[in-house]
Amino acid sequence: MYQDLKNKSLGGNIWEFAPCDEKKAEIAAQKCGIPLLLAHILTVRNIAAEDIADFLTPKMQNLMPDPYVMKDMEKATAAIGQAIMQNKQIAIIGDYDVDGATSSAVLMLFLQSLGICPLIHIPERDEGYGPSIKAVDEFKAQGTRLLITVDCGTNAKEVFDYAKKQGMEVVVLDHHEADETLPQIEALVNPKRRDDDSSLPYLKYMAAVGVVFMGIVAVNRYLRDNGFYQNRTAPDLRQWLDLVALGTVCDVVPLLGLNRAFVKQGLKVMACRNNIGLKTLMAKADIKDIPNTYHLGYVLGPRINAGGRVGDSSVGNRLLCTNDEKCAVSLSDKLNEYNALRKEIETDVLAQACEILEGSPQKYPMAFVYGHGWHQGVIGIVAGKLKEKYNVPAFVMSVDEDEVRGSARSVDGLDLGGLIICAKEKGLLTKGGGHTMAAGFSCTEGKIEEFRSFVGDYITANLKDEQLDPVLMIDGCLDAAGANLDLIGNLERLEPYGSANPEPRLVLERAIVTKSSIVGSGHICCFLSSLNGGSLKAMAFNCADNEIGRALLNGRGKSFRLAGKLRRDTWQGRNQAQFIIEDAMETKNDNP
């Protein structure tokens, strides 16, 4: 069943089956009472049989550890708890992306529920990522005694030294890659600290908002143990899981372990639409259904991000924290306007970047481009699109008079966080940090070409040529006759989908096209059968004028191997199975 998958498809891809121990899959299917295809996919994703129940039905009580397992969490809890009980002025600095907006909102809403009025600072992009002397001075003038940074601050040694001289205690709740030497502060909670020896591997890939939620769980317990709630009601922390889910999905961290429980439970909270800001933004975005990870990652997330990219960085946080419906409408409208502007700017920068890359030969297997005056707010998105278009690591930089700011996106097999740290140690970058797949950095204009050579050599040494071939990963096979609603119901148990748990991509073997036609704006609708009978509707979107579309339109009676997603079709009240075609290979018809 796996033969010939190394041939190039009509879409120009190599199909590759994710490795699977079929014996383990069979045992898992029998032990857990699930269909073999579902067990196969779970085995592909390295979910052991004993962990399948927690994966399919992730519950907070089963997956949430004692927060104190994280390095410095007990110290952070004491510092925050004492500041609350002593009514000290607390200030928060967050990042300007969705993880930063949700992290700062969760902490702010928790503190407000206790009667604390924290100060908040979300830096604009021209101020730079993370805490700054400017923010510390503003907080000092307002009497700040405790500074908490969320989704930033792990490597901000100089700023925190300054803050301490101003009489502030400092606590960091973050998840970015850490330098060898850490700031000397009250507490730095970050599962990526090199000295964090927690035995729970899934903590390493929490978003910052997950770290913050674990932090408020710990602080809540500290306050209860110290009598803070004797004359007041403790808040129900679950009410903020919608924000935890939003930040977790939008920061593209693996949806495994605790992250999966955060998102699963958070989507249930979001469906209640109790957060006025989110409720208003969903209405403005015309989300009428029960929200899912697609809505979070591709509808709500880009809008909240837009303020930090091309507008006012604080708007996202303010929207998520507001209790005023009129304010929520105004802020949602602003985010929609920013998002429209972001799309225009992004389109222009992307076109310039592609022209540069395609107009001159490239020495290294990467997309490395920069431009004067390119808007800093879109370079990350452009880097992502270049990575998708050319299937190579992408580095995009905006050159200003005093600084070059860049963003990078990686392909599987290349650790960008490690690359950036190494470049900083060599003096090529002034600032930088990030994750395996995404990073941000700064340098001087005179260092750009030296940095280009370093990156090129690093990629050449760490990536094999075959890792740069466009690969379509396949989770499993099925026959058109077996693609029914019962199977779809079982596959839906794999939701929520996201990083490390994508929607399963399946191959329909020996699918025979019985009918095909163009519908809408260049889409192909076709009906499939198999040697085992049955009929299955299939859609191939935006492909009427490419090789896949032409093959399907001229493929009546022909046999294909089709790669795509099996989904429930609910359009106009329907409830039937359909296959979303992403790629195709033409095969020889087999006799029954």
Give the list of residues 6+ apart from residue 253 with CB closer than 8 angstroms, or none.
Answer: 175, 205, 206, 207, 210, 259, 499
pLDDT for the residue numbered 197:
82
Residues 381 and 232 in one domain: no
Q: Cα 560 from chain centroid?
A: 34
Residues 281 and 268 in one domain: no
Residues 82 and 140 in one domain: yes
Partners of 371 in the beta sheet?
A: 398
Q: What is the strand order of the sheet 367-372 is part of?
A: 367-372, 394-399, 404-409, 438-443, 431-434
Choosing from 435, 468, 501, the residue where a domain stops is 468
Report helix, strand or coil for 2. coil
Pick from 325, 395, 402, 410: nearest CA to 362: 395
Choosing from 468, 487, 505, the residue where a domain stops is 468
Residues 323 and 188 in one domain: no
Domain containing residue 412: CATH number: 3.10.310.30
351 in any annotated domain? no
Residues 371 and 416 in one domain: yes
281 in any annotated domain? yes
Pick from 14, 4, 7: nearest CA to 470: 14
Alpha-carbon distance 287 to 282, whole Å?
5
Backbone angles phi, psi at 408, to 5 degrees: -135, 150
Question: Buried b / exposed e across 480-506, counting CB within 10 Å, b at 16+?
Answer: bebbeeebbebbeebbbbbbbbebbbb
Pick from 263, 274, 255: nearest CA to 213: 263
Residues 383 and 458 in one domain: yes
Domain containing residue 250: CATH number: 3.90.1640.30
pLDDT for the residue numbered 592:
41
Residues 285 and 177 in one domain: no
Dig out the tokens for 110 from the structure.
């928790």
Residues 528 and 565 in one domain: yes
pLDDT for the residue numbered 4:
42
Residues 172 and 231 in one domain: yes
94 in any annotated domain? yes
pLDDT for the residue numbered 533:
81
What stretch of H or E contains 91? strand 90-93
Partners of 527 in the beta sheet?
A: 515, 537
pLDDT for the residue numbered 1:
28
pLDDT for the residue numbered 6:
54
52 in any annotated domain? no
Question: Buried b / exposed e across 529-539, counting CB within 10 Å, b at 16+?
Answer: bbbeeeebbbb
* Whole-structure pTM value: 0.89
Q: In terms of C-beta density within 10 A (0-12 exposed, 13-18 middle, 19 or more buried), how is residue 99 classed?
A: buried
Please tell me what DSSP assigns to residue 155: T
What stretch of H or E contains 449? helix 448-462
459 in any annotated domain? yes
Choosing from 272, 293, 312, the residue where a domain stops is 272
Q: What is the mean pLDDT of each run of 10 residues along the chain (592 residues)?
A: 58 90 95 95 94 94 95 98 98 95 98 97 85 96 98 95 97 91 96 87 93 98 97 96 98 93 98 98 95 96 94 96 97 97 96 94 93 93 94 94 91 89 94 84 95 95 75 92 93 94 95 94 94 90 94 94 94 88 84 43
44 in any annotated domain? no
Backbone angles phi, psi at 181, to 5 degrees: -100, 125
Peptide bond into 496 cis (omega under 30): yes
Alpha-carbon distance 249 to 245, whole Å?
6
* Angle at alpha carbon of residue 209, lines to 132 and 258, rounded to 5°: 150
Residues 448 and 486 in one domain: no
Domain residues for 410? 361-468
Residues 309 and 395 in one domain: no
pLDDT for the residue numbered 591:
45
201 in any annotated domain? yes
Residues 287 and 261 in one domain: no
Q: How many independent structural domains does the chain possess?
A: 4
30 in any annotated domain? no
Pick from 310, 211, 195, 193: nearest CA to 251: 211
* Angle at alpha carbon of residue 207, lines to 201 and 208, rounded to 5°: 115
Contact 133, 155 (CB under 8 A): no
Q: Report the amino acid identity of residue 104.
A: S
